[in-house]
Amino acid sequence: MTDGTDRTLARATIGGIEMAYEDHGTGLPCLLVHGFPFDHRQWRAQLEGLADAARWIVPDLRGHGSSAAPPPPYRMSDFAEDLRGLLDRLGIDRVVLGGLSMGGYIALAFAERYPERLRGLVLMATRAEDDPDTARQQRMETAARARTGGAALIGAEMLDRILGGRDVDPQLVEAIRTMILGTSVEGLVGSLEGMAMRADATPWLASIECPTLVVVGTEDQLTPPSCARHLAASIPDAELLEVPEAGHVVALERPEIVNPAIERLLARCR
């Protein structure tokens, strides 16, 4: 099958779950992890703009896009195990691992378990901290509504939260809406419950040894620049990039700024 941009999606069964993913290009292996509730197309602007810069492995997480959707919850460690299984299947030992938002929580969960498998880290529009009680409660309420109404019910409010009432290119809004509406009920519920369960990564950030790029849009209301500054200040070899006129989906919104920064990180990791 294709991903709508004429690229073929490969498939592999990892730990009993069928995962869809892109795998193309040559050289330094880079694994990019999308946010909630998106799919691999969230990285479209990097796959297009940086096609020749690396080997790109870009999966749909369980419950999202074209991957299978096992029963909830999906802990960040479950996602991290799926990624490790995919890398094992592909025979890849060490990668540059990038994640946006929930993808960043998952990248951190992977980094905590498998630091020896990292050559570099990209943490985009994300945070180290766990949810405060009120946010955790809200996630569980949203999960309950998603169970009955699916993405169609919560899609509009998600879009509002993600775009933060900003004036964004209509094509971009449509691309985001399409990804949200393509997310299964299990994917919505599983990820919301899993994010609510995640632990604070702050205590071990100082042990991250690989070169790290931290990226945030200056207008991101879900994971504001203060979260990125905390990450960059806590990780020893981290560079912070604050991207003007960008919100939460910074990778899609401002690739002309984000892509050169990724290229610089790749050069540091080679």
String of contacts with ligand MLT for each residue 230-259, x by CB under 6 A: ------------------------------
* Residue 98 within binding range of ligand MLT, rule CB under 6 A: no
* Residue 65 within binding range of ligand MLT, rule CB under 6 A: no
Q: Which of 58, 102, 143, 265 binds ligand MLT (CB under 6 A)?
A: 102
| CA atoms within a 13 Å half-sphere pointing along the CA-CB vector of 54 | 28
Our CB check for ligand MLT shows the closer of 7 and 198 to be 198
Selection from 58, 106, 99, 100 nearest residue 80 by Cα:
106
Helices (H), 22-92: 44-49, 76-90
CA R_g for the chain: 17
CB count, 10 Å around CB of 156?
Answer: 12
Nearest approach, Cβ of residue 134 and ligand MLT (Å): 13
Q: Which of 42, 46, 67, 101 binds ligand MLT (CB under 6 A)?
A: 101
* Residue 187 within binding range of ligand MLT, rule CB under 6 A: no
How many helices (H) does the chain have, and how many strands (E)? 9, 8
Contact 23, 90 (CB under 8 A): yes
CB count, 10 Å around CB of 200?
Answer: 12
Q: Which of 21, 28, 35, 75 binds ligand MLT (CB under 6 A)?
A: 35
* Residue 56 within binding range of ligand MLT, rule CB under 6 A: no
* Residue 57 within binding range of ligand MLT, rule CB under 6 A: no
- Counting every residue written for the chain, the total comes to 270
* Residue 195 within binding range of ligand MLT, rule CB under 6 A: yes
Chain contacts with ligand MLT (rule: CB under 6 A): 35-36, 101-102, 195, 222
